[in-house]
Amino acid sequence: MAKPKAPKRALDSYTVKPINKTIRAGDCVLMRPSEPSKPSYVARIERIEADSRGTNVKVQVRWYYRPEESIGGRRQFHGSKEVFLSDHYDVQSADTIEGKCTVHSFKSYTKLDAVGNDDFFCRFEYNSATGAFNPDRVAVYCKCEMPYNPDDLMVQCEGCSDWFHPACIEMTAEEAKRLDHFFCESCSSEGQKKLQNSHNASRHTDIKVDTKRRRR
């Protein structure tokens, strides 16, 4: 059909009828995936526009990638609700919006009392062409030297302040939860002097390489 292109106009907000939710630029939303078996896409709305009659509403979105959708795939330290803010923009029909969601900072996510279905967190930006992350280095913890996965229970050593997975210190999760005080192996056996030298807070790993690389 050779219809002239209708001029676009920007909308401040738009109410998605089926879910009865009003969206605005800056909101995070769940969008219907191309295959029904896949989890909903997570996106941030950059702009809402309609044709001159106010119909055919489209949203300009910036995608959040799930770890599975990244070039490197899901890693052990990725949380189940982790998403990466990508550099991938798209235009989608507003009708594909299934609901609103919240993408928290890593810090505020770890402080949530309860994680709902529509709670996510983001600690990395992701370059969809190269697979690179920003930041490309991240603090690591425990004897296994892994970045923190907020889904995993960890216990903190009162000596060096490093965090440990119960399994890595030969403890069950139940035992770890019952602990009142915890000193890691090196802190309990090697005393105060060594403690000062073994401060681990500045350990980092390059997340593009094997995080299990030991620094000895």
142 binds Zn ion (CB under 5 A): yes
Residue closer to Zn ion by CB (options 85, 184) is 184
Q: How far apart are CA 65 and CA 67, in angstroms?
A: 6
Which stretch, 6-14, 59-67, 74-82, 183-191, contacts Zn ion (CB under 5 A)? Answer: 183-191
Cβ 194 to Zn ion shortest distance, Å: 10
Q: How far apart are CA 61 and CA 43, in angstroms?
A: 6
Yes or no: say if 142 and 135 are a contact pair by the CB < 8 Å rule: no
Cβ 183 to Zn ion shortest distance, Å: 6
30 binds Zn ion (CB under 5 A): no
Q: Report residue 122 as tokens.
A: 């983001």
Q: Report residue 40 as tokens.
A: 């909903």
CB-based contacts of 159: which residues, under 8 Å, 6+ apart? 183, 184, 186, 187, 188, 195
**Phi and psi at residue 19, in whole multiples of 5°?**
-105, -5
Question: Residue 168 carries which DSSP code?
Answer: G
Cβ 110 to Zn ion shortest distance, Å: 17
168 binds Zn ion (CB under 5 A): yes
Among positions 78, 165, 205, 207, the unique one binding Zn ion when judged by CB under 5 A: 165
Residue closer to Zn ion by CB (options 102, 161) is 161
Q: Report residue 68 as tokens.
A: 């599975």
184 binds Zn ion (CB under 5 A): yes
Using alpha carbons only, give the angle 150, 165, 117 rounded to the nearest 5 degrees: 25
160 binds Zn ion (CB under 5 A): yes
Cβ 160 to Zn ion shortest distance, Å: 3
Which stretch, 8-16, 64-72, 99-107, 164-172, contacts Zn ion (CB under 5 A)? Answer: 164-172
* Number of other residues whose CB lies within 10 A of the CB of residue 105: 11
Cβ 49 to Zn ion shortest distance, Å: 48
Footprint of Zn ion on this chain (CB under 5 A)?
142, 144, 157, 159-160, 165, 168, 184, 187
